[in-house]
Amino acid sequence: MPARIFTLLRLTILSCILVFTNSSLYAASTHAISMHGKPALDEGFPHLPYVNPDAPKGGKITYGVRGNFENLNPFIAKSIRTTARGVWDAAFGNMVYESLLFRSRDEAFTLYGLLAESVETGPDRKWVEFRMNPLARFSDGAPVTVDDVIFTFNLLKEKGRPPYSSRMKFVTSMEKTGERGVRINFNSDADRELALLFGMMPILPKHATDAETFDKTTLKPQIGSGPYIVTRVKPGESILFKRNLDYWAKDLPVKKGQDNYDEVKIEYFASNSTMFEAFKKGIFDIYPEGDPGKWKQAYDFPAAREGRVVKDVFRPKTPASMLGFVFNTRRNLFKNRNVRRALAMLFDFEWVNDNLYFGAYKRTGSYYQGSELSSLGIPANEREKVLLAPFPNAVSKEVMDGTYLPTVSDGSGRDRKVLRQAFEILKGAGFKLENRKMMTPDGEPFQFEMLTTTKEQERLVLAWQRTLARLGIEMTARSVDDTQFQLRKGQFDFDVVIASYYASLSPGAEQQFRWGSSSRDQEGSFNFAGTAEPAIDAMIKAMLVARSREDFVAAVRAFDRVLISGHYLVPLYHLNEQWVARWSRIQRPEKLPLYGYRLPTWWTSSE
């Protein structure tokens, strides 16, 4: 054999060995990672597309929120829903703590470098490696290191709240790979999304975090790597953040045009009405509005008439969130899905929309309505049928063939046809009317309690209550304060509760925390309905292992069909728009990202 041919053959064989025996050798380190497809922005991009990179720095902003707070640590189970806003916050930004990677809100699910300057993973995503940015610093000047990453993940495993703690059960080992690299190896149960989820985990300073007391509530300002420092805390009333003048990431592409205020204050209010009155007086600066009646009629005050308060309308390209009255299926009364279906039919959306909301809302029928992920009005395709075949009773015929729609009434609030249909369903489940009272199969009155926290919720619930009463069903609306409401939700101590499920274009592991069997009895989870169904678990798994967009869409649609068919809640309504009022000194970028407006990209003009 000629020497040249022998050399070429040897190099070819060597290349094959390198490729097929070690996946890490052909998994290139990159500036970004996407759940499906490729990142939209190439390495070296100047800034995210939805910011104003020249936004002026300075000034102040005050946000208003309802409720209170008793804890500055957002990562523990105690006070899970009464943690101070802004410290680690999806709406206001992660002002104190940061993650390894930064999520772009103009793509379905793509992360770019932040504390980690690059990320690497294999084709099966059974491991992920992050390379730390050498510039990364905590607010006290200490570098953010691999040791901080490993310390954080171990601490969250032991004392963190879900989902941070629950993700750690998929980790087999963590190891340093050089001075700035950390590799996380996953077990065989890990899904393809996990590599991204670890990129979104917070990183705590090992030198400034007391592991012994970490699971205790605290009002002591914490050290993080974010753009702001907590400088004043009034428990339950307000929290003040001031810019870290030495913030390490201010010139990174993912941070250009963001974190524009010198000072951010968050004020807490006991009710929506007092909060709105405070906004009108200029006590805080931005008011996201969700009430069509108020949006149409309540903004006729002097500052709005004079143009000092501006009303903005945004149209994001994301699925509508699912808002509904959620049945606690841990209760015997709600274990039968036909019973839940009948109760859902008795919510007269047409009457409510016309009489309470000026006809502004659209009825919600799907958990991903308004996107390609929705199954509403679409027959199941072959991919979906294969996924659902092992669970022949999980999806009803009308949902499977795409003809399902939520019940439509005549809008009278007493549609006899709907009442009759609901009664026949209940009768088939063993219920009966005695002296105008609906009785359960056990001979007990059909009665339950609904939790509310606001006057707006009470008004809505009373409309449902009136229709239920026409069939002899007694529903009591119980108003509680926000602290008690969150506590009872977290402990699943309710019959029916109102809840909203945010929908993204890349649903994944968070669905386990909302609907998966593993979260049914996990206190503090968002599995309010108490679902523990094999079909739900299987569809979530199918979403997480999907590699192609076609397989992913099929899995989400199949998941949507299972949830719809289960009638776990009374689907309410949604807007196709986002409404936000702001004082005119607060300015915003022209470009709207895929997921809607982003408050951290706004800024203030001259005082």
Mean pLDDT by 10 residues, the chain (607 residues): 44 39 54 95 98 97 94 86 88 98 97 98 95 98 98 97 92 96 96 96 98 95 97 96 98 98 97 95 97 93 97 96 97 98 98 94 96 97 98 98 97 95 98 96 97 92 97 96 88 96 93 96 93 98 93 98 98 95 98 97 86
Distance (Å, rounded) from C-alpha 85 to C-alpha 239?
Answer: 8
Sheet of strand 60-66, all strands in order from the earlier edge strand to the far edge: 228-234, 238-243, 263-269, 60-66, 286-289, 578-583, 309-314
Predicted local confidence at residue 23, as pLDDT: 38
Angle between helices 534-545 and 549-566 (to 10 degrees): 160
Reduce the DSSP state of residue 230 to 3 states and report it: strand
- Whether cis (ω within 30° of 0) applies to the bond prior to 302 is no
Closest to 357 (Cα-Cα) out of 296, 415, 277, 316: 296
pTM of the full predicted structure? Answer: 0.84
Joined together, the tokens standing for residue 496 give 């029916």
Residue position matching structure tokens 């977290």: 490
Answer whether 586's CB lies under 8 Å from 285's CB. yes
Report the amino acid identity of residue 321: S
Per-residue model confidence (pLDDT) at position 64? 97
Write the class of the CATH domain 322-574: alpha beta
Q: Spell out the domain ranges in the chain.
A: 322-574
Amino acid 17: pLDDT: 38
Give the separation between CA 185 and CA 484, rounded to whole angstroms: 40
Query: Residue 169: is it exposed, middle or buried by C-beta count within 10 angstroms (0-12/13-18/19+)?
Result: exposed
- Check if the beta carbon of residue 371 is closer than 8 Å to that of residue 539: no
Q: Which of 456, 550, 597 lies closest to 90 in space, CA to CA?
A: 597
Query: By the 8 A CB rule, do 327 and 343 touch?
Result: yes
Q: Cβ distance 566 to 337 under 8 Å? A: yes
Phi, psi of 224 (to 5 degrees): -135, -170
